Every structure is written in C-alpha cells, then in structure tokens.
Amino acid sequence: MHLALFFIFGALCLAGALNLLLQRHPINSALSLIVVMSSLAVLYLLLGAEFLAAAQVIVYSGAIMVLFTFVIMLLNAGKEERTRGSKLAYIAGFPGAAALLSLLTFMFLSHQGEFARARIGEYVVTTSELSRMLFTDLLLPFEVTSVLILIAILGAVALARKEH
C-alpha cells in the first residue's frame, strides 16, 4: 500500500516538476510548483512525519506559493494573452485525474484497517522531539532561511516597482 502510494505521488511530483520547467507562463509554473509541494507533503506523510507534512502544506503550498504568485503577477506588468490551455491537459489530464482518484479511493477503502497501525520504521519522531530539535539545534539555519526568503521577496518587489 505504502509502496504504491509512494510511486503514485513520486511520479506526480516528478511530473509537476517537469511541467514547472516546461511551462511558458509563470502562473502555470507556480501552480505546478504547488503540485510538487503537495506531493512532497504526501510523501512526508507516508514516512510518518505528520508535522512536516502539515508544515509543508501550510507554509510552502499555502503561504509561500501565494507570495510567489503575487510577485509573479507584480513582475508581469504587460498584458498576457489568453490561452485555451494545453491539448495534452484535456486529452490526458481529465482521464488521468479520474483514474488516480478511483485508484486512491479503491486503495483506501480496501485497506481501511491498516492505516491505524501503519509504521515505516522502529523510530518514530514525535512532534515535541521535532520542535525541540528545530528550535534548539537548527534554530540558526531555520531563521536564516526565513530571512533569505524575505529578502528575495523584497528584492522582487523592488525590481518590479515602476519609477515615476
């Protein structure tokens, strides 16, 4: 069960990353990055790291991607042409999404009792142990990363500002 979910969401993560690189429009690239971040959250969940999965969804898929989308929209000051979307998305996207949804539904319904006792390894990190390590040993890299993200966003806004 875990192996099948790992391959499904790993493939979805790789497909989102390739779509991120191959897109011509920056908003579509940002949406592909949201798919990658959400797939990574599911992979964290499969590894038993519930706190990291929740932080991945809240911080990266939510807040950071909203900020990136606003910066992209701010930098893209010109008029963007309307497209009808990719033909590949219509041909493969809807049947692929329906197949993925039906496969996941089948897997979850057929293995309902196994989710309560599913563990990957012997050592399971609790949220209190993880937060203690994050705010003691890894406090400096954590804060430096947040400051670097803030500087990058401020730099993008300063570059996009129009001179009067």
163 Cβ contact list (under 8 Å, min separation 6): none
Rounded CA separation 44/38 (Å): 10
Between 47-56, 89-98, 155-164, the lowest mean confidence (pLDDT) is in 155-164
pTM of the model: 0.55
What's the distance, CA 90 to chain centroid?
Answer: 23
At 49 the three-state DSSP class reads coil
Report pLDDT for 14.
Answer: 93
pLDDT tens per residue, range 23-79: 877 777 878 888 888 899 889 888 877 778 888 888 877 777 777 777 777 776 555
Torsion from C-alpha of 9, 12, 18, 24, nearest 10 degrees: -140
pLDDT one-digit tens code per residue, 94-118: 788 888 788 878 877 777 665 544 4
Q: Where are the domains of the chain?
A: 2-77+84-123
pLDDT at 164: 58
Angstrom distance (rounded) from CA 37 to CA 104: 19
**Candidates 3.40.1350.10, 1.20.120.1200, 3.30.70.100, 1.20.1050.140; correct CATH number of 2-77+84-123?**
1.20.120.1200
